[in-house]
């Protein structure tokens, strides 16, 4: 974080702007919206600045900047802006302001700024400020434009409406947790739409009726959300998963949950790591289930975050059974499975009319030191096989599949760190699979795709490049992380 974002109260406080041109007028107009008193120091004024002075009654001193840090004008200044086309003058303004410990902004000179002017989306009293640290103003303008389109124009009106009931709700719900949950649930109700439509009386009635539901012991009842965090790319988290993360008091997460997803949690939420990997289970599964029940019974909303989908080799079914037996409220939010994410970002369709009419998912993880699978059912024409957690047992998988009749030359893709910038796709054949799997990073998740659909990757990548449509298949930065092992079957 290059700059710490703050919001200054400048109402009726003195702001000095040095410069009278077009750029200075834009800064003065923006700051003027905060209710600040403004003094403009400039020997000449642009028409825009002159109009601002007349419109808002700003003080104008028709003189050049004198460059004296003892200038009494600075005695009452809370902010100083330098926006002239003379670098020496701007540097002088900076020196004088810094010497007096006054926040100063020199337009287009980040090195001379103790604060910067952000891009602003104004839905007063809701104000969103964004900054790139001076690195990319054009990107900021695009982001602001997108937010302007996304945010309802009545958002400020909604904030004002809710503010009128703040004291009423605080009196009725003195418990902080109950009060927070009330506001969270209210914003997910029909009340905001009623306010946007100008039906404040109906919205008020709905709000008051809702308060009683949050009084007493009922609100203390907790719940558990089983949320699939997706295969690695944080943007693959579902909207519902993201919304529930913002409501959770406690977040219990696995090793494969992306950092970007954790950053979407409510900042006040308690984060508990219970990650497991082959041969290393610091928190046994039984303890995780007991923890979910205990935290929910204490009145917490608990988000249980799992990589991929909780019901696809995620042991979500076991945890759900614990919640049902304990009579704990729950909600399951599916996630994009690692199989779907890995295949899509690798450019490999799991099914294809000419290659595979079915796909089956298999675990490559031993249980009780055994990998008991229905190997014979895998050797079926027109089927794609996907193995999860298979890296340590790649040789066993190869031997069993060949022994049961699958051709050693069957195409295989070894995908590690799927959907992340570290993604790597190794195309090989079944008899060379053990070496290809062993060459992957043991700290990264690995998924195997076995079948002739793997051969389609080369055609899809070529087509995407030719048509300049790579992003429609998978992110361009992931395509380059491709290699082959042994005799590639293309």
pLDDT tens for 79-107 read 999 999 999 999 999 999 999 999 999 99
What is the model's pTM?
Answer: 0.69
Q: Is the pLDDT of residue 444 over 50?
A: yes
Q: Which residue has the tokens 């690692």?
A: 338
| Interval 277-284 mean pLDDT | 69
What average pLDDT does the segment 1-10 reach? 88
**pLDDT tens digits along 131-182:** 888 788 889 889 999 999 889 889 999 999 999 999 999 999 998 888 888 9
What's the mean pLDDT in 463-474?
40
Band (pLDDT 50/70/90 cuts) for residue 215 is confident
| H or E stretch at 52 | helix 47-56
| Res. 272: pLDDT tops 90 | yes
Look up tokens 């902080």; give the residue: 176
- The answer to whether residue 460 scores a pLDDT higher than 80 is no
CA distances from 172 to 179, 187, 415 (A): 9, 18, 55
Tell me what pLDDT residue 72 has. 84
Which residue out of 254, 309, 424, 479 is catalytically annotated? Answer: 254
The pLDDT of residue 219 is: 54
167 catalytic per annotation: no
Tell me the average pLDDT across 41-47: 95
Cis peptide before 125 (omega within 30 of 0): yes
Task: Tell me the three state secondary structure of residue 85.
Answer: coil
| Gap between the Cα atoms of 303 and 358, Å rounded | 33
State how far the Cα of 181 lies from the Cα of 218, in Å rounded to an integer. Answer: 12
Residue 125 has pLDDT above 60, yes or no: yes
Write out pLDDT tens, residues 189-205. Answer: 899 999 999 999 999 99
Asked if residue 288 has pLDDT above 60, the reply is yes
pLDDT band at 469 (very low <50, low <70, confident <90, very high): very low
- Predicted local confidence at residue 462, as pLDDT: 42
pLDDT in the model for residue 223:
93
Q: Give the H/E segment covering residue 156.
A: helix 155-164
* E runs forming strands in 229-306: 250-253, 270-273, 301-306
Please tell me which residue, 457 or 341, carries the higher pLDDT value. 341
Tell me what the mean pLDDT of segment 309-335 comes to: 93
Whether 254 is a known active-site residue: answer: yes
pLDDT score at 220: 66
| 463 vs 456, higher pLDDT | 456
Give the per-residue pLDDT at 2: 82
Per-residue pLDDT, averaged over 343-349, amounts to: 91
Catalytic residue (choose from 276, 366, 435, 482): 276
Nearest one of 233, 259, 253 to 302, comparing CA atoms: 253
pLDDT band at 474 (very low <50, low <70, confident <90, very high): very low
Average pLDDT, the chain: 88
Per-residue confidence (pLDDT) for residue 249, from 0 to 100: 92
Residue 472 has pLDDT above 70, yes or no: no
Collect all residues with Cβ–Cβ distance below 8 Å to 443 and sequence separation of at least 6: none
């Amino acid at each position: 974080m290059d700059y710490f974002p703050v919001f200054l109260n400048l109402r009726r406080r003195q702001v000095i702007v040095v410069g009278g041109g077009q750029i200075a007028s834009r800064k003065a107009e923006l700051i003027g919206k905060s209710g600040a008193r403004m003094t403009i120091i400039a020997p000449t004024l642009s028409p825009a600045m002159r109009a601002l002075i007349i419109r808002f009654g700003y003080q104008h001193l028709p003189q050049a900047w004198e460059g004296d840090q003892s200038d009494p004008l600075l005695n009452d200044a809370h902010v100083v802006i330098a926006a002239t086309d003379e670098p020496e003058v701007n540097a002088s303004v900076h020196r004088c302001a810094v010497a007096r410990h006054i926040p100063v902004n020199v337009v287009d000179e980040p090195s001379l700024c103790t604060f910067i002017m952000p891009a602003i989306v104004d839905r007063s009293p809701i104000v969103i400020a964004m900054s790139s640290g001076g690195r990319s103003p054009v990107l900021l303008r695009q982001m602001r434009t997108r937010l302007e389109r996304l945010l309802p124009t009545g958002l400020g009106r909604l904030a004002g409406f809710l503010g009128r009931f703040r004291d009423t709700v605080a009196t009725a719900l003195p418990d902080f947790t109950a009060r927070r949950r009330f506001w969270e649930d209210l914003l997910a109700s029909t009340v905001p739409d009623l306010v946007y439509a100008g039906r404040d009386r109906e919205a008020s009635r709905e709000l008051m009726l809702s308060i009683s539901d949050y009084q007493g012991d009922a609100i203390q009842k907790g719940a558990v959300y089983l949320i699939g965090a997706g295969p690695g790319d944080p943007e693959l988290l579902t909207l519902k998963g993201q919304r529930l993360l913002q409501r959770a008091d406690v977040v219990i997460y696995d090793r494969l949950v992306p950092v970007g997803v954790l950053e979407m949690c409510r900042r006040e939420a308690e984060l508990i790591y219970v990650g497991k990997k082959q041969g290393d289970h610091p928190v046994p599964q039984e303890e995780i289930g007991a923890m979910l029940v205990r935290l929910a019974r204490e009145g917490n909303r608990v988000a249980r975050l799992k990589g991929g989908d909780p019901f696809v080799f995620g042991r979500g079914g076991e945890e759900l059974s614990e919640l049902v037996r304990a009579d704990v409220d729950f909600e399951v939010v599916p996630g994009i499975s690692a199989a779907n994410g890995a295949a899509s970002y690798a450019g490999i369709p799991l099914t294809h009319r000419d290659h595979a009419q079915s796909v089956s998912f298999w675990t490559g993880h031993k249980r009780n030191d055994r990998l008991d699978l229905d190997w014979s059912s895998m050797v079926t024409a027109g089927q794609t096989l996907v193995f999860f957690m298979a890296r340590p047992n790649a040789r066993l998988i190869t031997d069993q599949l060949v022994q049961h009749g699958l051709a050693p030359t069957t195409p295989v893709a070894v995908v590690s760190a799927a959907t992340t910038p570290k993604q790597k796709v190794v195309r090989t054949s079944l008899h060379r699979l053990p070496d290809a799997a062993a060459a992957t990073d043991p700290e990264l998740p690995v998924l195997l795709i076995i079948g002739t659909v793997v051969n389609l990757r080369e055609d899809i990548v070529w087509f995407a490049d030719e048509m300049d449509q790579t992003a429609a298949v998978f992110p361009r930065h992931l395509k380059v992380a491709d290699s082959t092992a042994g005799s590639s079957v293309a």
